[in-house]
Chains A and B, each alone.
Chain A
């Protein structure tokens, strides 16, 4: 019996009702991502990239079809069950950083570790912040950090619990080109070091090109693209 995929989507369909009309966002979408694989999902604005990411991460439920994480069906679980899988298996990096403004950098990184009831939350968080080069910024609040630094904190927070899968939603979308590149370098460096499965949503073809595989979301379906070609 071969090893299950880290993430697998089977016949995934998502409709939404907008102004009493039914909109199809995803239609019979299939996807399989192996452990340790880096996959970029690209597409135009409004093509449903974030919806797909939300479904794969169990943040949302599909209209039909299913999502499997490590071979177990995620979409059949209730919200609390999905939350538990997220806490155990997944890490997140968002375009808008999503740091809690009322927590310091250290407290932000500690949050998922505390939710997972890790006794060594503090040590792990400090180590993660050191890895992203922010050991001098532990007690700073998000408003005291630059955009790049905030995203570093978010990356430290994503990697600190050692997730099997990392979901990244436009991680450089709010950053300038130079900072964006530094962040991407850091993201890939940590990802490769940890052997984490990476699913990255972006409309930046250069970023997508750094992934092993690139998928184009168009008309609710995924089309395999040559990664190198996508980057061209």
Chain B
């Protein structure tokens, strides 16, 4: 207990004397950044899962083209899970002489198990309906709910009758919103919802009908996970088990990119804070040496000193982490406020996990920082009391810093969330240290060539770098790291957010029309002209099934991955194009030239190629309308799916597929107020299916804007941490500087001369750090942009110059602010305070 009480005393007195503050604040900052981002991403993840649940209408869905075996029900009931079932199939819906293909969803009691259906009682063909409310039940037997667009196309309102198959049914309500319209957007025909009990009487389900039988389950997360394991293990061929993670990939992808960037920002804050802590620990340890030497002199054993030190580390670590976790909690409230209503509902409350990780991270960071000093402090010779040169700090023992390095590396991997990004950052870190060491060495060589003796005061200042070469190296490293992180964030942030938002400009396509027949292309283009759409392209699609790879018949059962099997089993939409679309990028091979037209070549989308294990130079055989065609993979493309444009997994050159029956697809931006023109077009050609993705895009765009604010907010932490590094590096040499300044003042130097000497020294440090940081940040930004975030990178010269000039001015300015206090004091006063 004595060790604890002495440790506490030391802590209190060192806190009140200010020795600890920089170290402590840097620790608080690191934990705040970690926990704030941890809290926030935790909440977003939870909200995303809930949202996913709403999209499925459940926590888990088992679907199949055939009726599902009773075993799914029995097992779910045995586990006490809530269940319901739905059926989905396309069918024509007729009212008088109007008919429209609809996506029919027959639902059973209890649907949806998650989320809700919003209905209103009157048909509104435009604008927002009044009186919309959450449905309390499913459509009564004999009645249907029509989606807005379907009601408009059929000119039907509540109370009207529509024919569904052989059955006439009454329109009971207008379906305003159905969260579960996520997933495969190419299934979008307008929705009709009916009671599952009415399905047999429609006579629509016959042998060969395209029906999806869906069994839905909801319950506690753990129960669902274990049921999912059971279901996956027992799923027969063609039965698909889908959980919430598969829902709404475009929103998930947008949020994951943002979460990765938030993690990156938090990681930078933590690294910077650790650098600040390492620097701040130097003067703290220097002062502590005397205290522990004195304790040794007064009879304290080594083990007692070690216990005191460990307690003290623990006290600082615990208090700093607790303060950080508390601030992190408050800060995440701000983050959540900025993120706002990202989703249909508010974010779920934060959990306790981020507090625990924050505390753990704070304690391990503190221990790692203190570790190199612990044995030195515990072994400080008592003789230091008489001979102060004994037991000083050894700044060259890099092995002693291994724990700190390990913790930094662990922290980087943890925050990066991916091995690739983490490793890239670590490599960059090591490269940066190497570059700094080389530049510092070159700088020192240059300094040694400067004449000494007579000369201006600035030479004296630069000579200060020579005298404190170890500390100068630490300062350059600290400044460089801080600056590098800030420049990197500024570079990547601008690029990332710019590209991200540019991927979804205000005029991004919000409608798709599919199933356009060749003779209707002219009419569709006339519609574009009428509405004033200039940049819409119409793409051909030919359906073909992949039957062989390199002459070997495709055996879909060999795919272990369920997604791969599904992809291999379904028909591909093969398209042809002369030019590649702007949101595509060639990763391997090359796009065709006019000479290649008519040659059997194929360009594959990267994900599909990876999933199916296809590679460059493979020969693929497709069955197109009974004819087999062989094509060679000559390029692999990356496709930005979140641009909302029509894109294809497989494209061939012109002159290869034209003889086959094709339908056409287009995507375009429908300006506000032109819905009626589109509806007229669709009424004229009833085979056309219009897919409205406007609501989905609005949601994605809303997420982007809000997450941009969230990212900027977290960026603020990095900025604070960078400043902490700057300050800690100044504090680390403060005492020595005061001593030197005093001596110079006593020897007759004026305030102006002393100021010039110091400013020259710091300007050198700032310039060197600015150079290193700009070079390293640009290289790292190039890597992160091109290899990790997959966005194009261009060197940002103005930013680089601003960083260089800023560093050479700001560092001496900050130093001058820190020195003003003692430079302006008379030497006598200084002598007393030294």
Interface residues, chain A, with chain B CB atoms under 8 Å away: 50, 53-54, 57-60, 79-80, 82-88, 92, 94, 98, 100-104, 107, 111-112, 114-117, 141, 143, 169
Contacts and interface: CB of A to CB of B under 8 A. Distances in A.
Contacts of A83: 296-297, 299-302, 382
Given A59-B382, A59-B386, A115 B299 contact: yes
B298 interface: yes
B294 A84 contact: no
A114 B290 CA distance: 17
Given A54-B387, A86-B299, A107-B13, 12 more contacts: A80-B303, A83-B296, A87-B299, A87-B300, A88-B299, A92-B385, A100-B294, A101-B17, A111-B294, A115-B300, A115-B304, A169-B386
B5 interface: yes
Given A53-B386, A101-B17, A141-B17, A59 B297 contact: yes
Contacts of A117: 2
B617 interface: no
Contacts of A98: 290, 294, 385
A116 B381 CA distance: 19
A106 to B, nearest CB: 11
B254 to A, nearest CB: 52
How many of chain B's residues touch chain A, expressed as a range?
20 to 34
B295 A111 contact: yes
B400 interface: no
B825 to A, nearest CB: 14
B402 interface: no
A103 B9 contact: yes
Nearest to B385: A98
Contacts of A111: 294-295, 298
A100 B291 contact: yes
28 contacts: A54-B386, A57-B297, A59-B385, A60-B381, A83-B296, A83-B301, A83-B302, A83-B382, A84-B299, A84-B301, A92-B297, A98-B294, A100-B290, A100-B294, A101-B17, A101-B287, A102-B13, A102-B291, A103-B9, A107-B9, A107-B13, A111-B294, A111-B295, A112-B298, A114-B6, A115-B295, A115-B298, A117-B2
Nearest to B296: A83
Contacts of B387: 50, 54
A119 to B, nearest CB: 11
Nearest to A83: B299
Contact of B382 (A86, A100, A114, A116): A86
A80 B19 contact: no
A184 B298 CA distance: 22
Contacts of B303: 80
Nearest to B379: A79
A12 to B, nearest CB: 16
Pick from A57, A59, A79, A117 the residue with the most CB of B within 10 Å: A59
A114 B5 contact: yes
Interface in B283-323: 287, 290-291, 294-304
A100 B295 CA distance: 10
Contacts, number: 89
B383 interface: yes
B643 interface: no
B298 A50 contact: no
A128 to B, nearest CB: 14
A86 B2 CA distance: 18
A105 to B, nearest CB: 12
Nearest to A143: B833
Contacts of A141: 17
Contacts of A100: 13, 290-291, 294
Contacts of A112: 298-299
Interface string B370-403: 0000000000011101110000000000000000
B14 interface: yes
B386 A80 contact: no
Interface in B3-51: 5-6, 9-10, 13-14, 16-17, 19
B517 to A, nearest CB: 86
Nearest to A113: B298
Contact of B10 (A80, A88, A102): A102
A100 B13 CA distance: 10
Pick from B6, B299, B383 the residue with the most CB of A within 10 Å: B299
Nearest to A116: B299
Pick from B10, B296, B303, B304 the residue with the most CB of A within 10 Å: B296
Nearest to B17: A102
Pick from B19, B287, B301 the residue with the most CB of A within 10 Å: B301
Contacts of B17: 101-102, 141
A88 B300 CA distance: 10
B467 to A, nearest CB: 21
Contacts of B297: 57, 59, 83, 86, 92
A104 B14 CA distance: 11
A113 to B, nearest CB: 9
Interface in B143-202: none
A85 to B, nearest CB: 8
Nearest to B388: A96
Pick from A58, A86, A102, A143 the residue with the most CB of B within 10 Å: A102
Contacts of A104: 13
